[in-house]
Structures are given as structure tokens and as C-alpha cells.
Amino acid sequence: IKKQQQDVLGFLEANKIEFEEKDIAANEENRKWMRENVPEDSRPASGNPLPPRLFNDSRYLGDYEAFFEARENNAVYAFLGLTAPPGSKVGVYILTVNN
């Protein structure tokens, strides 16, 4: 999980895409929000969804595998729902665990 989180965060930082990281390990509200906002068809068969999970404001974008596929296909900005040029303020949230 940590390696995947670092991969996503590193990409966003390198491309100057503004984001807010929300730690679900240290904040019960963030954990609850993630559980409620990951669509049913994107949840694991058992247990809770694991980070990293990406959202644009409250719109669910996907998990690490979806991000990785978009990056491999040079489609990350479309995946993130960004129309603004890199460096513009956007509402991208990355839910992570930092312990």
C-alpha cells in the first residue's frame, strides 16, 4: 500500500498537480467518508476498500490499478477529471494510510 501511495503522490507532485492527502488511519471521519463514497461495484468482495483511492472533490475516480493504467496510457489528466493546465488549483483528494 505504501509503495502505491508514494507512486501516486510522487506523480502528482512531479507534475505540479495540487491535491489534498487524507489519512484514513489517523482520522475516523476520513475512513468513514471513504467507505461511504467508494461505489459498491468498486469495493472488494470482503472487507473494506484499501487506499490509495482517488477522488476529484467527492467524485470517485478509482484505485491504484486504475491510476496506473491511466498513467501507462498517458491519460492521467483525463482520469483525474482535469481540464485545467498542470499547476492549476484542482480538487484532487488521495486517501492514504500514514503509519
Q: What was the pLDDT predicted at 74?
A: 78
Helices assigned H by DSSP within 1-99: 2-14, 28-37, 64-72, 76-80
What would the grid cell of residue 23 be? 489519512
Q: Kindly list the domain boundaries of the chain, sorted by start residue.
A: 1-96
| pLDDT, average across residues 77-96 | 65
Q: What was the pLDDT predicted at 88?
A: 45
Assess contact for 70 and 10: CB atoms under 8 A. Answer: no
Q: Is the pLDDT of residue 10 over 60?
A: yes
The DSSP H or E segment spanning 20 is strand 19-23
**Domain spanning 1-96, CATH architecture:** 3-Layer(aba) Sandwich (3.40)
pLDDT digit string, tens, across residues 52-83: 999 998 899 999 999 999 888 878 888 998 86
